[in-house]
Structure 1
Amino acid sequence: MAELWNPLLERMPRDRLERRQIRKFREQAVYVYENVPVFRRKLDRAGIVPEEIDSFEDIRAVPTTTKDELRRAQETGADDSDGSSGRTERATETRSTPYGELLAVEPEAVREYHQTSGTSGTPLRQADSGRDWEWWSDCWATVLWSQGIRPDDRVFFPFSYNVFVAFWAAHYACERIGAEVVPGGNLSSAERVQLMDDLEATVFMTTPTYALRLGEVAEQEGIDPAATSIERIVCAGEPGASVPGTKAKLEERWGATVHDHAGATETGAWGYSCEGDSLGLHFNEAQFLIEVVDDDGDPVEPGETGTLIVTPLDRHAQPYLRFEQRDRVRLEEPSACDCGRTFRLADGGVLGRDDDFTTVNGVLLSPTAVEDVVRQHDDVADEYKIVIDEHDEKESDVVTLISEAKTQDVETTRTELRHRLKQACGLSFRITLREQGALERPELKADRVVDQRVNHV
């Protein structure tokens, strides 16, 4: 059985791969220009002639796409970033669709509707054609095959999928691979754990937060998660599976290999860990043009940290050019992984969204650094909160870690956490340790940073 889902693409020499990316970006730019008025106006304003794009430098001259401008185009049928509020003839014709002026196809070509979670504002609606859905499932099949999922696996999904795309696409990718799929929506956590155990599922997919929660529930139900048939856990939705402390805790609790994935409704499944030795995410550079840029929009060098700009190279119904993903990553060369893929990597996975990072007393606080410290400590529970507030008397910020103690020696644990957090984050933390079970257990993703500062910008 093949080691890679698509060996031709995944091991394509870098020079050929880059030429392919430039060609496909140019083709996508031409397609978008001809079919999406909001982007045609935008490219015209920037003086971009899509047919003339012939280098990465040309690509970087193309304006980026932001979530806010997509919201405007979705709701008003026009991009008013230049101050205009007028609508084109095409926008008026398509105003009855929920997609505003973002469709590149006729409405009857749309086969799938999904939307973003709306955690950062109004949800974005995403249309996919039948061709898009084939592309989605192929992207996800690349992810899952790289992580060892094969036709003899039984894959459990402990969620109701609702209108969120990720697990729908993963579900169909499992079917494409030939694996058996067990949907676990509309069940309690205890029922899901019991069903996984009864059916001898070999894989389940979830967020890192919920994987930890299911392990906790299993123990409460008298089931040893490490003794179940689970061999692999595929995580998505938050960075934890590439955070060493969280990954190690999950693998120890479940006796399984933990894999990471990254993607978005607007872009697709652009990143994945493999069975190699690297603790990071490969960029799927066959299906996406992925740029890692600094604050000025210039490319970063390997070993440097930047934010992602992602272009899906085969999106059909609702395509985007240079979408500001706003995930922060540390770029690494393909040689950092021993799997033989020629795709570059995000060392350590997604370090967080730009919005997740905040300055505390002049220091940039990384939530994943805190997560790593908490998850590597044996005497604190899985759940925690980071609370940032203003000092009552001094002109400074106070940052508090709230977690749960698993030991009677609370003072020693506080001292150790303060020391480790100071080393990892360069900040002095206050530590509050409560009894086990005091903090709420999220059932999907966790929002662990609470910034209560009134005057913080």
Structure 2
Amino acid sequence: MSHSEFWNPFLETLPRQKLEQLQLYKFKRIFSWAYQQSKFHRSLYDAAGITPDDIRTLDDVRKVPKVEKSMMQAIQNKDPFPYGDALCVPLEEVSTFRQTSGTTGQPVYQPDTWQDWEWWAECWAYILWSQGYRASDRVFLPFGYNIFVAFWAGHYGAEKLGCEVVPGGVLDTQARILKIQELQATAMMATPTYVLRMADVAKNKLGIDPASLSIDKITCAGEPGAGIPATKKRMEAAFGAKVFDHSGATEIGAWSYECRHQPFGMHVNEAMFLVEIEDMETGEPITEPGIKGKMVITALDRMAQPCIRFDAKDVIQWDPDPCTCGRTFRLIKGGVIGRADDITKVKGVLLSPAAVEAVVRSFEALGDEYELIVERPGDVDHITLKVELKPGADRVQVESGLKDQLRLKTNLGYDLQFFEYGSLPRYKLKARRFKDLRKKDNL
């Protein structure tokens, strides 16, 4: 399969029927490839009694067993080392190594061929073009280049569009801000946590108003923050720039993006991915818009270590309305809402950490950082929310308003703890603000 086979500038506007025909063709191809080349997938599918001949329609896709991260972790460190039985190509064809961040346990190793890496860059080219990146842009990448995929593919996607890319990997935060100022960079990519961290450092350490910098667009990933209106508003106000959301994962690829029309949601790149939504408890398919469920996803063109019906545990919902940009790729409303393993019952109520973030970030008197801790010291759940109060803010007034909004938006009460601005932990990549200590108690 050549790179040109899956690149087509008109894919984003294909009529629905033709798009689904393309997805079915690609699913049958990747399923057959994995069945023939991967010992892991062949064993999984044989145990379920399913072969490539059984896939005739998109409805048949649901017959295919799902793959979970724990299954990929279990087959690692075996021959061909270190990837194990899911590798579909000779080891000498692997050109790129990445691994997951390890925030949910043992990292998963991800091998890619050069063709796979070209596919990654193509996915990102779709993202960046939709957000207004052009050859005239100078894109600054303030992340540490290492084995975590982070914005590696964003780098190559930007180059593919002809942008000038400035890597800021070994620089510290202050040096990165100064380099942006020196080179008059027009765009950057970072996690929402680090965007806010850079704004804080620019203002309070360097005396530079981040809005005075030349950045006019920022692409975020890694956390749900850019899809939370209050967090997006903070970032856009700080830098005077448009902030765009995107979602991807090491095992999956860059599968969704927010376009310049910003419809409060993200397009699924349906030419390269097949996304299904399932009920979080029953596993039944959800096809109607507006109903939240767990995402199951297939990367349709990734060959070295296929991602077929992967249980990503991202919580999403279909948007009933198309985007005004004209793309026929469907929207997920509000982007990725959270993770199924983060959304948990507290005192019988479903708690979403993203809902708490939305409340905290809506208070101008509070800093960007916070911590949410759920414990069970006895027989009753206890929720602690630690926040930072900005200098000069009225604590009594903020506390009263915060309690009211949290009760209104989450139906729960919180033990609020206020800290001096700048005293809570800071993060450079993915933040770990939510801690459910009950899980540790049950181990």
* TM-score, normalised with respect to structure 1: 0.92
The aligned counterpart of 1:402 is 386
Q: CA deviation at 1:325?
A: 0.7
Residue 346 (1) aligns with residue 348 (2): no
- Which of 342, 355, 368 is the aligned partner of 1:356? 342
Tell me the distance in 2 between the aligned counterparts of 1:403 and 1:277: 30
Residue 284 (1) aligns with residue 269 (2): yes
The aligned counterpart of 1:20 is 22
| Number of matched pairs | 432
- Which of 231, 253, 258 is the aligned partner of 2:243? 258
Q: CA deviation at 1:390?
A: 2.5
User: Could you tell which deviates more after superposition, 132-141 or 402-411?
Assistant: 402-411
CA deviation profile, 1:131-162 (whole Å, cap 9, x unmatched): 11111100011011111111000101111120
Tell me the distance in 2 between the aligned counterparts of 1:27 and 1:367: 38
Where 1:134 maps in the other structure, the secondary structure is: helix
Q: 5 Å matches for 1:211-230?
A: 211-220=195-204, 221-230=206-215
Where 1:166 maps in the other structure, the secondary structure is: coil
Q: CA deviation at 1:56?
A: 2.0
CA deviation profile, 1:211-264 (whole Å, cap 9, x unmatched): 000000010211111111000010011100000100011001110000011011
Q: CA deviation at 1:354?
A: 1.2
Tell me the distance in 2 between the aligned counterparts of 1:74 and 1:117: 16
Residue 314 (1) aligns with residue 316 (2): no
The aligned counterpart of 1:191 is 175
Q: CA deviation at 1:365?
A: 0.6
Q: Percent identity?
A: 47
The aligned counterpart of 2:3 is none
- Which of 236, 255, 258 is the aligned partner of 1:270? 255
User: Which amino acid is the alignment partner of residue 228 of structure 2?
Assistant: V
The aligned counterpart of 1:384 is 370
The aligned counterpart of 2:52 is 50
User: Which amino acid is the alignment partner of residue 219 of structure 1?
Assistant: K
Tell me the distance in 1 between the aligned counterparts of 2:404 and 2:435: 22
Are the structure 2 counterparts of residues 98 and 410 from structure 1 closer, same or farther at C-alpha, using a change threshold of 3 Å?
A: same
Q: Which runs of 5+ in 1 are unaligned?
A: 78-94
Tell me the distance in 2 between the aligned counterparts of 1:340 and 1:113: 36
Q: 5 Å matches for 1:68-83?
A: 68-75=70-77, 77=78
Residue 440 (1) aligns with residue 442 (2): no
The aligned counterpart of 2:100 is 116
The aligned counterpart of 1:370 is 356
User: Which amino acid is the alignment partner of residue 385 of structure 1?
Assistant: E
Contact in 2 for aligned 1:261/1:272 (Cα 8 Å): yes
- Which of 228, 231, 240 is the aligned partner of 1:243? 228
Tell me the distance in 2 between the aligned counterparts of 1:228 and 1:6: 35
User: Which amino acid is the alignment partner of residue 337 of structure 1?
Assistant: C
Q: CA deviation at 1:387?
A: 1.5
User: Which amino acid is the alignment partner of residue 180 of structure 2?
Assistant: M
Contact in 1 for aligned 2:322/2:328 (Cα 8 Å): no
Q: CA deviation at 1:7?
A: 4.1
CA deviation profile, 1:361-382 (whole Å, cap 9, x unmatched): 0011111111111111011110
Contact in 1 for aligned 2:80/2:91 (Cα 8 Å): no
Where 1:97 maps in the other structure, the secondary structure is: coil
Are the structure 2 counterparts of residues 101 and 186 from structure 1 closer, same or farther at C-alpha, using a change threshold of 3 Å?
A: same
Residue 138 (1) aligns with residue 119 (2): no
Tell me the distance in 2 between the aligned counterparts of 1:305 and 1:412: 34
Tell me the distance in 2 between the aligned counterparts of 1:266 and 1:390: 34
Tell me the distance in 2 between the aligned counterparts of 1:455 and 1:181: 47
The aligned counterpart of 1:331 is 318
User: Could you tell which deviates more after superposition, 206-215 or 33-42?
Assistant: 33-42
- Which of 112, 125, 139 is the aligned partner of 1:128? 112
Where 1:127 maps in the other structure, the secondary structure is: strand
- Which of 140, 157, 171 is the aligned partner of 1:156? 140
User: Which amino acid is the alignment partner of residue 73 of structure 2?
Assistant: R
Q: CA deviation at 1:37?
A: 1.2
Where 1:290 maps in the other structure, the secondary structure is: strand
Residue 304 (1) aligns with residue 291 (2): yes
Tell me the distance in 2 between the aligned counterparts of 1:440 and 1:42: 43
User: Could you tell which deviates more after superposition, 313-322 or 146-155?
Assistant: 313-322
Contact in 2 for aligned 1:6/1:142 (Cα 8 Å): no
The aligned counterpart of 1:452 is 437
Q: CA deviation at 1:96?
A: 4.6
Where 2:136 maps in the other structure, the secondary structure is: coil
Q: CA RMSD in A?
A: 1.5
Where 1:378 maps in the other structure, the secondary structure is: coil
Tell me the distance in 1 between the aligned counterparts of 2:76 and 2:278: 27
Residue 172 (1) aligns with residue 156 (2): yes
User: Which amino acid is the alignment partner of residue 374 of structure 2?
Assistant: I
Q: Which runs of 5+ in 2 are unaligned?
A: 1-6
CA deviation profile, 1:269-290 (whole Å, cap 9, x unmatched): 0010001141111111000011
* TM-score, normalised with respect to structure 2: 0.95
Residue 30 (1) aligns with residue 36 (2): no
Q: CA deviation at 1:359?
A: 1.2
Contact in 2 for aligned 1:112/1:128 (Cα 8 Å): yes
Contact in 2 for aligned 1:387/1:399 (Cα 8 Å): yes
Tell me the distance in 2 between the aligned counterparts of 1:163 and 1:110: 15
Tell me the distance in 2 between the aligned counterparts of 1:397 and 1:59: 40
The aligned counterpart of 1:80 is none
Where 1:421 maps in the other structure, the secondary structure is: helix
Tell me the distance in 1 between the aligned counterparts of 2:228 and 2:308: 30
Contact in 1 for aligned 2:365/2:393 (Cα 8 Å): no
The aligned counterpart of 1:107 is 91
Tell me the distance in 1 between the aligned counterparts of 2:251 and 2:245: 19
Where 1:20 maps in the other structure, the secondary structure is: helix
The aligned counterpart of 1:89 is none
